[in-house]
Structure 1
Amino acid sequence: MVKCFRKGFSLSDLWVSSHDKLSDFYLSAWQRGESPVPLLLVRLALAAVASGILIWSLVVGAGPYWLIYLTNWGLLLVTMMTLSGLLVSCMSLCKPLSDAAELPWYVSMYWLIYNITVSIAIMITLLYWILLFDPEETNDGSAQGDIWLDVATHGINSCITLVEVLAARTPARLLHVYQPLGVGLWYAAFSGVYYAAGGTDGNGYPFIYEILDWRQGGRAGTVVAASTACLIVIYVLVWGTTLCREKLSLATIRTTSHTLPLTPPDPHTQIV
């Protein structure tokens, strides 16, 4: 382990390969015991909902342009997060997992996807309902059926991630902010390259999203910068929520008494 600062910071903290308690990845924050079943049941429900929305989106809108949209990137990430979390819970149920210097690969994979997905999903929800949603379109009878898919892909997606954040004990580190930030910037770069290569959206317009029209480079750059700042703020809020969750669950659920004697008293002398 390479020490970078005198106060205990190490290069391994930048990645998702190590953590003090492996049980933090398969136990619920709201249980006293050591059974992985409670969180497994929650993750099974979340995986079912996420997979159902993904299938719904593919059935309704699958086509050559499906993968160019950030919404669908987020939908894939949410599905991957729930399935990888379910895998961690299943593995902990099938065989006992013990703390080690390095996390198992499937735990590291889940933690990485989790770090990326929660912030990206919330940002997608905010961007859609603040910048892209057009209430006038919902008055069109032909668009009535699409509004429910919009709610699922731009609302329920964030709800799924928030349930995972609040139900699990998955840790959050401020140092990991670069992970969702990297994916967000990667999409911005992709949209620019896609435009430069002559790509269009499903209606033939030379952009993926109108607010990210690279023909107006100044406005597109401002949107990217604002979205980057928003993503950082969201990640910090998720980190703060995680700290509050841990303090509350430790104080109310996972608390232990320190007033009990270490050994039972002798029945004859009553001496501890």
Structure 2
Amino acid sequence: MVKCSRKSFSLSNLWVSSHDKLSDFYLSSWQRGESPVPMLAVRLILAAVATGILIWSLASALNPYWLVYLTNWGLLLVTMLTLSGLLVSCITICTTVSDGAELPWFISMYWFIYNIAISIAIMITALYWILLFDPEQREEEAPADFWLDVATHGVNSCIAVVELLASRTPVRLLHMYQPLGVGLWYAAFSGVYYAAGGTDSLGNPFIYEVLDWRQGTRAGAVVAASAACLIILYLVIWGTAFCRDKLSLSIIRTTSHTLPMTPQDAHQIV
């Protein structure tokens, strides 16, 4: 245990192994009571949509290059987020969980994926529509391909945002390194992939043209700018979760402090 600024700080706070209330991971911010059913219903829908998009993507473009694209990394992360959240809700309905010093493994797994998937999904959506989307190429695409692009670069973020807003899952600033680490990991992967002679599905010596490592300076600048944007995005997500909790506590999860009347002590009756 490390003491810092009059407050106790534990290295476990850097990981996803401890939190005061287990109920924050299976209750909705917008419900009264302690039933895990409302969040279960939300997560069931989200998991069905995410899994459907994943199957659609695999069926449409299953080839050896599928896993080299950041879009598909994000799609896998969002699907894992919804399925792990669904697992948390199902287990808490079937068994009784109680607060303790350490979080159960299934909650830690969900929280870790949650921290990564939401930021990465929104970042992928922003990068695609700002840097990669080509309206002229869109005219040459089949309608099914366009709608798959919308699903993998738009609906993915909607799923992540719904999970963020509907749940009570906490967002800690200390966990910023988790999505940032995945983003930098992908950048490193793309560089190693290029150095090893890897190509995209069309035979180009890069995965994304904007991240062409033949132009190292530009690619490095893109990575640095993306990392800065990811940090800002995580701060926005943290602020959104903070506002979600404050609004929920003030409007929905209010607690009455009015005490019931107690009978008068018999010894005081004259």
TM-score (norm 1): 0.95
Residue in structure 2 matched with residue 264 of structure 1 by the alignment: 261
Residue in structure 2 matched with residue 49 of structure 1 by the alignment: 49
Question: 2: distance between equivalents of 1:226 and 1:210?
Answer: 16
Distance 1:186 1:268, change over 3 A: closer
CA-based RMSD: 1.4
Q: Which amino acid aligns with 1:129?
A: W
Residue in structure 2 matched with residue 66 of structure 1 by the alignment: 66
CA-CA distance at 1:4 after TM superposition: 4.7
Residue in structure 2 matched with residue 80 of structure 1 by the alignment: 80
Residue in structure 1 matched with residue 163 of structure 2 by the alignment: 164
Deviations along 1:107-127, one digit per CA (max 9) or x if unpaired, are 000000000000000000000
Q: Which amino acid aligns with 1:233?
A: I
In 2, are the aligned partners of 1:4 and 1:11 still within 8 Å (CA)? no
Distance 1:205 1:100, change over 3 A: same
Question: 2: distance between equivalents of 1:162 and 1:153?
Answer: 14
CA-CA distance at 1:187 after TM superposition: 0.2
Question: 2: distance between equivalents of 1:21 and 1:266?
Answer: 35
Question: 2: distance between equivalents of 1:265 and 1:107?
Answer: 41
Matched, 1:32 2:63: no
Matched, 1:214 2:217: no
Deviations along 1:163-217, one digit per CA (max 9) or x if unpaired, are 0000000001000000000000000000000000000000000000000000000
Q: How many residues align?
A: 266
Deviations along 1:143-162, one digit per CA (max 9) or x if unpaired, are 33211000000000000000
Residue in structure 2 matched with residue 226 of structure 1 by the alignment: 225
Helix, strand or coil for the counterpart of 1:8?
strand
Question: 2: distance between equivalents of 1:4 and 1:93?
Answer: 38
Helix, strand or coil for the counterpart of 1:219?
helix
Residue in structure 1 matched with residue 186 of structure 2 by the alignment: 187
Residue in structure 2 matched with residue 117 of structure 1 by the alignment: 117
CA-CA distance at 1:267 after TM superposition: 8.6
Question: 1: distance between equivalents of 2:225 and 2:193?
Answer: 21
Question: 2: distance between equivalents of 1:222 and 1:4?
Answer: 38
CA-CA distance at 1:129 after TM superposition: 0.1
CA-CA distance at 1:265 after TM superposition: 3.9
Residue in structure 1 matched with residue 150 of structure 2 by the alignment: 151
Deviations along 1:215-259, one digit per CA (max 9) or x if unpaired, are 00011001000000010011000000000000000000000122x
Q: Which amino acid aligns with 2:9?
A: F
Residue in structure 1 matched with residue 237 of structure 2 by the alignment: 238
Helix, strand or coil for the counterpart of 2:9?
coil
In 2, are the aligned partners of 1:81 and 1:117 still within 8 Å (CA)? yes
Question: 2: distance between equivalents of 1:119 and 1:163?
Answer: 13
In 2, are the aligned partners of 1:137 and 1:143 still within 8 Å (CA)? no
Q: Gaps spanning 5+ residues in structure 1: where?
A: none
Q: Which amino acid aligns with 2:14?
A: L
Residue in structure 1 matched with residue 23 of structure 2 by the alignment: 23
Question: 2: distance between equivalents of 1:180 and 1:28?
Answer: 24
Helix, strand or coil for the counterpart of 1:255?
coil
Question: 2: distance between equivalents of 1:29 and 1:134?
Answer: 39
Helix, strand or coil for the counterpart of 1:226?
helix
Question: 2: distance between equivalents of 1:121 and 1:83?
Answer: 16
